[in-house]
Chains A and B, each alone.
Chain A
Amino acid sequence: EVQLVESGGGLVQPGGSLRLSCAASGFTFSSYSMNWVRQAPGKGLEWVSYISSSSSTIYYADSVKGRFTISRDNAKNSLYLQMNSLRDEDTAVYYCARGFFATVFDYWGQGTLVTVSS
């Protein structure tokens, strides 16, 4: 059974940093691209970042480019999102999602809430 479990969310002040993790199991992690998708409270879905299976290709949404860094450790079956210079508008539930055909999100974690507030 495919499982994705996010962690690392919490309350952080504007300008602060946070590192999210996503632990994967139930599939060959190193064979799949991965993504982060977020959802602000009461709002729709927004794709945040993509990383290919070998980390050779990485993309970011314009809204986070230069502030967020996606990475993965295939030996640990883990995906990460380093978030710096956080803003109020980054407040959201952050989901990790497996990429089928890169950006068909076929499996999702349960999400982790990031709240940016003073």
Chain B
Amino acid sequence: EIVLTQSPATLSLSPGERATLSCRASQSVSSYLAWYQQKPGQAPRLLIYDASNRATGIPARFSGSGSGTDFTLTISSLEPEDFAVYYCQQRSNWPPTFGPGTKVDIK
């Protein structure tokens, strides 16, 4: 099973700042990596799939990059609604696996 690690565990930032979240895979997942956002009491929401493709309705301030084992989710300028937990997930190998998450909270 492919293990995903995310860093940092918590990111404390202010609205308007740039957020950079990292996801590393235990082996290459090519570009088959997605990012999800989850707010308390809500279901996850797909942000990015296949490393860099924004899902339907996702604002342009969210962008993804990377391939192989190292990936980045960037939020160019944090809006108040962006404070949440972010998970990466690979679909390269069965079973699909998720990272442990990065919490972006308000500084």
Residue of B nearest to A107 (CB): B46
Q: Residues of A contacting B101 with CB < 8 Å?
A: 44
Tell whether B83 is near chain A: CB-to-CB under 8 Å.
no
Residue of B nearest to A108 (CB): B43
Tell whether A46 is near chain B: CB-to-CB under 8 Å.
yes
A59, B95: Cα distance in complex, Å: 8
With A95-B43, A100-B49, A110-B43 as contacts: A105 and B36 at CB distance below 8 Å: yes
Residues on B lying within 8 angstroms of A by beta carbon are: 34, 36, 38, 42-46, 49-50, 55-56, 87, 89, 91, 94-101
Tell whether A11 is near chain B: CB-to-CB under 8 Å.
no
**How would you classify the secondary structure of chain A's contact residues: helix, strand, loop or mixed?**
strand
Residues on A lying within 8 angstroms of B by beta carbon are: 44-47, 59, 61-62, 95, 100-111
A61, B1: Cα distance in complex, Å: 10
Docked-complex contact B96 and A103, CB < 8 angstroms: yes
Q: Residues of A contacting B99 with CB < 8 Å?
A: 44
